[in-house]
């Protein structure tokens, strides 16, 4: 009699406990509201950063116009100050290679360095050039202005002489550079008026979703734009010898650390969700990690913040002039690179694994 009903007993028994298991929430289930994160990114970080940067370009343009109307060393210094202010704000937006910025290769139009001084001189001499053409990728943007206001001579009075006459070809080229930068930036800023809605609603975990693309863009910038371009390449990490001529702001020189510090701070602020130009903190990659019911994810955000502190401390010890630093004690540059590299690993491997986001780019130098 028992044998006859034994199969039925097991069906009921396992069916009951099977149902109970299905109703239990998976501790590792991702219930984070990605939309809140995307809204914070768009409304409190990306768009305000772009608006502030755009205004800084307008201020730079005003400084240039004033200088060209009355070329003198005082007004040239004003141009240099405005250039640096805008360049520092650029460090807060370069990572946002998404939307129309990606379509037009915006960052490639603004900050490819080292700049090609020979090409700049050829363009000025010839008078026929298109700064929107990618053939001029390294003769435009901030690095080109750096050459035009700091690199024509070691003597400021001599630099002023290049702009002494209204018909100066150097004046025309300087105007064309800043006009192109303003034009391209305005395209990106205006596109966010319509792109915002698409961005904040693209919450799926797919290769093309805004969340996944922006996270990858952030990491790519940190790895390539910050770690490699600002530190690794000039220090000789990827070559047989150091290349000091490849530092950012080569002709000004004494602001290369300042720009790198701005970039590192901007990436930290983005990670923690800090509103642009504010102490308010919103949803972020940090809060996303902390929301996951996985102890390793919570520890990871703490590890990343500690690594930021270590990288900031190491970077702060470098000379303001990276050319001098490389030529006198390049070991400190290499140590700084290693400190920043620890964050690359945490972002690209540990964080992406915790968030179940795939890497969408390939690099040749490894993690």
For 273-293, what is each residue's pLDDT tens digit? 999 999 999 999 999 999 996
How far is residue 181 CA from its own chain's centroid? Answer: 17
Phi-psi group of 113: left, alpha or beta (phi > 0 → left; psi -120 to 50 → alpha; rest → beta): beta
Candidates 1.20.1420.20, 3.40.30.10, 1.10.3720.10, 3.30.465.10; correct CATH number of 30-203?
A: 1.20.1420.20
Tokens 């996303």, residue?
288
List, for residues 217-251, the tens digit of each pLDDT value.
999 999 999 999 999 999 999 999 999 999 999 99
pLDDT of residue 31: 77
User: Half-sphere exposure of 220 toward its Cβ, with a 13 Å CA cutoff?
Assistant: 19
Q: Taking 60 as the threshold, does the pLDDT of residue 25 lie above it?
A: no
Q: Taking 70 as the threshold, does the pLDDT of residue 22 lie above it?
A: no
Residue 23: pLDDT band (50, 70, 90) is very low
Tokens 């040749």, residue?
364
Q: Which helix (H) or strand (E) holds 232?
A: none
Residue 297: pLDDT band (50, 70, 90) is low
1 CB-contact burial (10 Å; exposed 0-12 / middle 13-18 / buried 19+): exposed
Could you tell me the pTM of the whole model? 0.90
Residue 72: pLDDT band (50, 70, 90) is very high
**In whole numbers, what is the pLDDT of the chain averaged over residues?**
92
Using alpha carbons, select from 256, 66, 240 the residue that is nearest to residue 150. Answer: 256
Measured on CA atoms in the order 315, 320, 326, 332, is the torsion positive or negative? Answer: negative
* Distance (Å, whole) CA 202 – CA 234: 38
Q: How far is CA 61 from CA 65, 68, 183, 287, in A?
A: 6, 11, 12, 39
pLDDT of residue 296: 60
Q: Where are the alpha helices (DSSP H) in the chain?
A: 2-22, 34-40, 47-69, 73-90, 100-103, 106-110, 117-126, 141-146, 156-161, 169-200, 210-220, 233-235, 256-272, 285-291, 295-316, 322-345, 352-355
pLDDT of residue 338: 98
Where in the chain is CATH 1.20.1420.20? 30-203, 204-367
**Looking at the chain, how many residues does it have?**
367
Question: Cα angle at 266 between 264 and 272, to 5 degrees?
Answer: 105
Quick one: what percent of the chain has pLDDT higher than 90? Answer: 86
Q: Which CATH class is domain 204-367?
A: mainly alpha
């Amino acid at each position: 009699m028992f044998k006859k009903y034994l199969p039925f007993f097991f069906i009921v028994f396992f069916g009951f406990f099977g149902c109970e298991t299905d109703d239990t929430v998976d501790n590792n289930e991702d219930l984070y509201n990605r939309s809140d994160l995307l809204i914070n990114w768009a409304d409190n970080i990306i768009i305000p950063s772009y608006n502030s940067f755009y205004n800084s370009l307008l201020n730079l343009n005003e400084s240039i116009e004033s200088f060209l109307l009355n070329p003198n060393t005082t007004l040239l210094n004003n141009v240099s100050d405005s250039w640096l202010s805008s360049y520092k704000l650029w460090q807060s937006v370069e990572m946002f290679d998404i939307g129309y910025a990606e379509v037009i290769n915006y960052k490639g139009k603004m900050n490819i360095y080292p700049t090609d001084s020979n090409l700049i001189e050829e363009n000025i001499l010839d008078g026929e050039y298109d700064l929107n053409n990618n053939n001029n990728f390294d003769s435009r943007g901030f690095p080109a202005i750096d050459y035009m206001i700091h690199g024509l001579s070691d003597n400021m009075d001599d630099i002023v002489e290049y702009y002494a006459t209204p018909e100066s070809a150097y004046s025309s080229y300087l105007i064309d550079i800043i006009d192109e930068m303003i034009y391209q930036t305005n395209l990106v800023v205006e596109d966010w008026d319509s792109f915002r809605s698409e961005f904040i609603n693209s919450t799926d975990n797919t290769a093309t979703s805004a969340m996944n693309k922006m996270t990858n863009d952030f990491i790519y910038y940190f790895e390539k734009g910050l770690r490699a371009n600002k530190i690794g390449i000039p220090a000789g990490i990827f070559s047989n010898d150091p290349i000091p001529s490849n530092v950012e702001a080569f002709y000004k020189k004494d602001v290369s650390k300042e720009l790198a510090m701005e970039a590192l701070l901007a990436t930290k602020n983005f990670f923690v969700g800090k509103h642009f130009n504010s102490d308010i903190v919103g949803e972020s990659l940090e809060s996303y990690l902390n929301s996951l019911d996985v102890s390793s994810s919570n520890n990871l955000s703490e590890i990343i913040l500690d690594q930021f502190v270590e990288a900031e401390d190491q970077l702060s010890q470098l000379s303001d002039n990276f050319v001098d630093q490389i030529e006198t004690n390049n070991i400190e540059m290499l140590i700084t690179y290693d400190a920043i590299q620890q964050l690359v690993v945490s972002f690209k491997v540990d964080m992406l694994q915790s968030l179940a986001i795939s890497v969408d780019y390939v690099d040749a130098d490894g993690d």
